[in-house]
Amino acid sequence: MLLGGIEAGGTKFVCAVGDDSGRIINKISLPTVDPEETIKAVREFFNTYSIEALGVGSFGPIDLDVDSETYGTILNTPKTKWKHYDLLGNLKRAFQVPVYLDTDVNAAALGEYKYGVASDVKSCLYITVGTGIGAGFVQDGKTYIGKNHPEMGHIFVQQREDDTFAGSCPYHGACLEGLASGTAIEKRYGQKGVSLSDKEEVWELEAYYLAQAIVNYTMILSPEMIILGGGVMKQENLYPLIREKVLELVNGYVEIGSRSEFIVAPGLADEQGVKGALALTFGE
């Protein structure tokens, strides 16, 4: 049985044909242009295969409230051509197979849970720290969606006293994403994170914010494992800095497992999203 998976991102759509063991048979990456053109290219790729179901991990915000009239539609996005685009409806019409839609970060969490670093735990939170910050959560094989999907990057944390940056989030200023995303780093220092890799103080501050976020997620969701991915996390010294700071902040109040097992790097390089999208088709 062949299955389709799409990691639908703001800059590219990664499409894969695979099977229910998580094996990928063929994969391509298509640029995200306007919806019609993008979906046409997606269709051409999958048309050589007879897939029986399609899983999609999409950028957002997207309406995932099954009771909503606009279920499956892209909501307020700066990508104006995609605003109000009925992604689920159009994919269903294009492929005439069951389509399973979720957020990109939930798909990534599911990919790591099924085939990656979280394959032997019962729950994991996948946090991506890149241009923006987002997180997806899986428990007992099911991705978490509430009334609508979480937007975990937009929580508030304590700004460090000596950090006078106003924050880069157009909605919330100094929320987590506004303080600690790649965009925030670039705006605060006037250069990209990659060119700051030897500046200790940059990563100390970054760890200060990400550690608080991890504590907040842990106090609310109590995941068994936390996976930190995304472009900013290529700065590998962040992992030990964050682990240390989380331990310090939690201060023994709750048990969070051993330091190295609780907060980890992804196990699937850049394939957790598309493999998770494939896994969305398995149902419960």
- Interacting residue ranges for a copy of itself, rule: CB under 8 A: 61, 76, 122-123, 139, 145-159, 171-172, 174, 212, 215-217, 219-224, 249, 251-255
Contact 236, 242 (CB under 8 A): no
CB of 233 to a copy of itself, least distance (A): 20
CB of 113 to a copy of itself, least distance (A): 14
Distance in Å from the first CA to the final CA of the chain: 17
Distances from the Cα of 11 to the Cα of 2, 7, 34, 192, angstroms: 26, 11, 11, 19
CB of 239 to a copy of itself, least distance (A): 20
Q: Closest by alpha carbon to 214, among 119, 84, 127, 111?
A: 127
Q: In this structure, what are the phi and psi dihedrals at residue 251, rounded to the nearest 5 degrees?
A: 55, 40
Q: What angle do CA 91, 92, 97 make, to 5 degrees?
A: 120
Q: Show the 3-state SS of 63-93.
A: CCCCCCCCCCEECCCCCHHHCCCEHHHHHHH
Kindly give the residue spans of alpha helices, DSSP state H, lying in 23-146: 35-46, 87-95, 104-115
**Residue (175 or 232) nearer to a copy of itself, CB:** 175
**Tokens of residue 78, six digits:** 């700066």
Strand (E) or helix (H) holding 129: strand 123-129
CB of 210 to a copy of itself, least distance (A): 12
CB of 87 to a copy of itself, least distance (A): 18
**Residue (100 or 217) nearer to a copy of itself, CB:** 217
Q: In this structure, what are the phi and psi dihedrals at residue 164, rounded to the nearest 5 degrees?
A: -95, 5
**Tokens of residue 84, six digits:** 């109000």
CB of 11 to a copy of itself, least distance (A): 21
CB of 25 to a copy of itself, least distance (A): 35
**Tokens of residue 228, six digits:** 């930190």
Pairing type for strands 12-18 and 3-8 reads antiparallel
**Residue (50 or 222) nearer to a copy of itself, CB:** 222
**Residue (198 or 284) nearer to a copy of itself, CB:** 284
**Residue (94 or 145) nearer to a copy of itself, CB:** 145
**Residue (14 or 176) nearer to a copy of itself, CB:** 176
Q: Which residues contact 68 (CB under 8 A, 6 or more apart)?
A: 148
**Residue (24 or 221) nearer to a copy of itself, CB:** 221
CB of 79 to a copy of itself, least distance (A): 16
**Residue (211 or 274) nearer to a copy of itself, CB:** 211
DSSP letter at 253?
A: S
